[in-house]
Structure 1
Amino acid sequence: MTSRPYVVLSVAASLDGYIDDATPERLLLSNDEDFDRVDSVRADVDAILVGASTIRADNPRLMVRSEERRAKRLADGRPETPVKVTVTASGDIDPEAKFFATGDIDKIVYTTAAAAPALSDRMGPAASVVELGDSVDPAGVLTDLAARGVERLMVEGGGTIHTMFLSAGLVDELHVVFAPFFVGDESAPRFVNPSGFPQDSKHRMALVETRAIGDCVLLRYIPRR
């Protein structure tokens, strides 16, 4: 068993670093070819993590979409879709969200000791609720996931989650896809929030891949230790 999962952080952003706009509708930053690439990355991991704010805003299912990839996972003795993971400090999450509506796929909600009792009651059988003490610490999340056999974790957002994992130095691989347009709205969410990051100008990440994906571009980085 590994001490913690290998963490792949994946994000699509506008050229000015936004991951959404400020309208109620979801902003599509990527394209069909990149959605398929993300699906292939999902199919290769043991768990996928998003924050509760992403569930509230986007209501994602977080499934492996390709029937062929799901079949291969089953043939390999794995569930057809990775374990689905979310974190919430407040416990403000709806058990009727699509995230929780996917059959026998394991769902885990990490939360604080203060929020856990009420959240457990509200979730019922929809998900396992795990309390992590006074705060939801990403290192604690990874330790618990490792104990559950998770070796590869895909982190898909949003900005608060990206910031938590990157600022803690807990990302092993970073996939950034840039869309060919600007959002230009300071009230819209960004890729990361202000914080102290170990990946600063004196600790530059290693660029290991660049790839044009239609009108978007993928940059794949490995943080140097």
Structure 2
Amino acid sequence: MSLDGKIATRTNESRLSSQRDLRRVHMIRSQVDGIMVGLRTMLCDDPKLRVKYFHDNHPARIVVDSKARTPLDSYIVKTASSTLTLIAVTTKAPQRRVKQLQKAGVKILVCGNGPLVSLPVLMRRLRKLGIQRVLLEGGGTLNWGMLSQKLVDQVSVAISPRILGGEHAVTLVEGDGALRIEDAIHLRLLGMKRYGDELVLNYRVLS
């Protein structure tokens, strides 16, 4: 993210990481069972959610998408037959769309009856599938949902030496946010590393 906490510009450009930090991210990806993103990330970036540089693991790809709006021509849908691809929806998702995704090889997880995916239900479903370690890669709304419901153990943030600004630029954590300082999510610093002008901070989330 940028020094002012942005993970993308107001036009949704999000290429902030250095080559060295990209390798760090792919190393983490190689060590987890699943990589999770929200719908906005899918629509803006069409991410591959695969491992580069380290090819000993192929984690599942997980999209939180309550109404099954992930494009059928997105990379992860087109390659769903070769890598486990999961899309979490609710009962409100159009059945025609769900069937189209399933036909493409996507596994659909129905997690809740409301307008939004129940994240605790999703995490339980993932554990039953053997997906224990999940790397959450945003965006900001999903980050808040997971953090506020105490579903995150650790936070790793790379701070890029840039300031993006913009009230409409996406921040690391969006959502409703805390009402009071005492409601904030508390962290404990585990360590830090410096790569040139870039700083990587690792925290444990305190209960």
Do these two structures clear the TM 0.5 threshold for a shared fold by scoring above it? yes
Q: Distance in 1 between matches of 2:184 and 2:47?
A: 37
* CA distances 1:74-94 after superposition (whole Å, capped 9, x unpaired): xxxxxx410000011232210
Q: Distance in 2 between matches of 1:178 and 1:199?
A: 23
Q: Distance in 2 between matches of 1:202 and 1:191?
A: 15
Fraction of identical pairs, as percent = 26
AA paired with 1:155? Answer: L
Q: Distance in 1 between matches of 2:184 and 2:44?
A: 35
Q: Which residue of 1 aligns with 2:100?
A: 122
Greater mean alpha carbon deviation, residues 118-127 or residues 27-36: 118-127
Could you list the runs of 5+ residues in structure 2 that have no partner in the other structure? Answer: none
Could you list the runs of 5+ residues in structure 1 that have no partner in the other structure? Answer: 1-12, 74-79
Q: Which residue of 2 aligns with 1:91?
A: 68
- Contact 2:37/2:62 (8 A) holds in 1: yes
**1:203, CA displacement in angstroms?**
6.2
Q: Which residue of 2 aligns with 1:206?
A: 188
Aligned residue pairs total 202
Helix, strand or coil at the partner of 1:126: coil
Q: Which residue of 2 aligns with 1:37?
A: 24
- Contact 2:35/2:61 (8 A) holds in 1: yes
- Contact 1:166/1:197 (8 A) holds in 2: no
What is the correspondence of 1:63-212 to structure 2 with a 5 Å cutoff? 63-66=50-53, 69-70=54-55, 73=56, 80-102=57-79, 103-115=81-93, 117-123=95-101, 124-134=103-113, 135-193=116-174, 194-196=176-178, 204-212=186-194
Q: Which residue of 1 aligns with 2:199?
A: 217
Q: Distance in 2 between matches of 1:208 and 1:199?
A: 22
Cα-Cα RMSD: 2.0
Task: Select the structure with the greater relative contact order (CA < 8 A; seq sep ≥ 6).
Answer: 1
Rate the CA distance shift 1:203–1:156 in 2: closer, same or farther, 3 A. Answer: closer
